Amino acid sequence: MTGQADQMLVAITGRFNERVIELVKENFRTVMFDRADPALVTPEVAAQVRGLAALCPVGGAFIDALPNLEIVAGGGVGYDTIDVARCVARGIVITNTPDVLTDEVADAAVGLLINTVRELPQAEAFLRAGRWAQGRFPLTRATLRERHVGIYGMGRIGLAVAKRLEGFGLRISYHNRRPVEGVSYGYQPSLMALAEAVDTLVCVAPGGAATQHAINADVLKALGPDGVFINVGRGSTVDEAALIEALRDGTILAAGLDVFENEPHVPQALLDLPNARLLPHIASATVHTRRAMGELTFGNLESWFREGRALTPVPETSGIVRK
Ligand code: NAP
Ligand code: 8YV
């Protein structure tokens, strides 16, 4: 970086991507925080921080503790855990990591769907427990055949999931706030209408106030007793208590979840359910893709301070330019 970088600090909050930490430390004067807690920021540091690599949730109080902050570079594509309203009000640009993780997350969504419907993890556990010699693994009740899949959030990842499932010969419909141009899958004007039309719901919608608990008891009931629910979007989008009830009483058949309301805490009631396949938020978690995400997170900081523009600003802050 140029001389101006010597006058400033880039803060890193959280640790979830080592590649970001490595690149930011190599290129900027850096200050690290285990969490985005304003009580950890001294006045001297606060005055110098102009960039932030957000590798954990960042609330408005932390943003307001940094009066000269210009950019918050988020480490993932979802940015529901960054206080967007505060950043917009302060003229701070937020960036995320679109595209570089799309295929990885779509692969994981399809894998989770197959595991949920075909019970492959249970079949492996049966074999490993030495039960095969005593008899065959029972036939699974569910099949992917003839399923109608509804995608809630037909964006970059939703489209990649749809393309994969189309290759499996499955019928696809979707719901977004607006129909996607040039997409031939059936559009439903509401999430409820989508749930009524399909038997398999894949959530790839962003978290945040607009989608909070959108997948509720009524939506789950509409999927029916052969219904399967897959979530690789955000845990906040689901009423988890309603989902537990629906899985417990057979309102739906099964669920596959990579995301939860209160991560990393997963309710015991979900852990106890045999018809729930549960993953610890790993849909993008390969060395290859986390490296690409890390390089884009850093690339945004580098481009902002070197060129005066971010590479991938989120839509809410795309009009903000460096003064
Ligand atoms: P994207 O391209 O922005 O797609 C999001 C889609 O959701 C858009 O089509 C959008 O369409 C729709 N949407 C947004 N708000 C909505 C609402 N209130 N009601 C209905 N539809 C809505 O984003 P992406 O790259 O595909 O990523 C999607 C999400 O996946 C991320 O935000 C993140 O939460 C999650 N994710 C999870 C993992 C994981 O590890 N599990 C990894 C990556 C991403 P409209 O604007 O037309 O409504
Ligand atoms: C990350 C994700 O694991 O990009 C996203 O939105 O959910 C995942 O790729 C997450 O951001 C890490 O906190």
Per residue in 195-230, is it b (16+ CB within 10 Å) or e — as a string?
bbebbbbbbbbbbeeebeebbbeebbbbbeeebbbb
Confidence (pTM):
0.97
What is the CA(121)–ligand 1 centre distance, in A?
A: 28
Predicted pLDDT at 171: 98
Predicted pLDDT at 2: 41
- Give the residue, out of 237, 284, 314, with the most ligand 2 atoms within 8 A of its beta carbon, to mutate for a pocket test: 284
What average pLDDT score do residues 73-82 get?
98
Predicted pLDDT at 196: 98
Beta sheet of 30-33, edge-to-edge order = 30-33, 9-13, 49-54, 71-74, 93-95
Q: Is the dihedral of CA 219, 220, 224, 227 positive or negative?
A: positive
What average pLDDT score do residues 241-268 get?
98
Confidence label for 274 from pLDDT (cuts 50, 70 and 90): very high
What average pLDDT score do residues 51-58 get?
98
Residues in the chain, total: 323
- Which atom of ligand 1 is nearest the CA belonging to 233? 35
Block residue for tokens 């307001």: 64
Predicted pLDDT at 3: 42
Residues identified as active-site: 234, 263, 281
Nearest ligand, CA 283: 1
Q: Can you tell me the distance from the alpha carbon of 256 to that of 251, in angstroms, rounded to the nearest whole number?
A: 15
Per residue in 53-70, is it b (16+ CB within 10 Å) or e — as a string?
bbbbebebebbebbeebb
Contacts (Cβ under 8 Å, ≥6 apart) of 274: 122
Confidence label for 7 from pLDDT (cuts 50, 70 and 90): confident
Predicted pLDDT at 273: 98
Residue 272 identity = D
Q: Would you say the CB of residue 155 lies under 6 angstroms from ligand 1?
A: yes
Confidence label for 280 from pLDDT (cuts 50, 70 and 90): very high
What average pLDDT score do residues 270-291 get?
98
What average pLDDT score do residues 264-272 get?
98
What average pLDDT score do residues 294-322 get?
97
Q: Judge if 2-98+287-317 and 102-278 fold alike in CATH terms.
A: yes
Predicted pLDDT at 6: 55
- Which atom of ligand 1 is nearest the CA belonging to 259? 41
Confidence label for 323 from pLDDT (cuts 50, 70 and 90): confident
Mean pLDDT for the chain overall:
97
Q: Can you tell me the distance from the alpha carbon of 285 to that of 136, in angstroms, rounded to the nearest whole number?
A: 34
What average pLDDT score do residues 268-289 get?
98
CATH of region 2-98+287-317:
3.40.50.720
Q: Taking 90 as the threshold, does the pLDDT of residue 1 lie above it?
A: no
What average pLDDT score do residues 271-294 get?
98
What average pLDDT score do residues 102-107 get?
99
Q: Does domain 102-278 have CATH number 2.60.120.260?
A: no
Q: What is the domain partition of the chain in residue ranges?
A: 2-98+287-317, 102-278
- Give the residue, out of 103, 204, 258, 293, with the most ligand 1 atoms within 8 A of its beta carbon, to mutate for a pocket test: 204
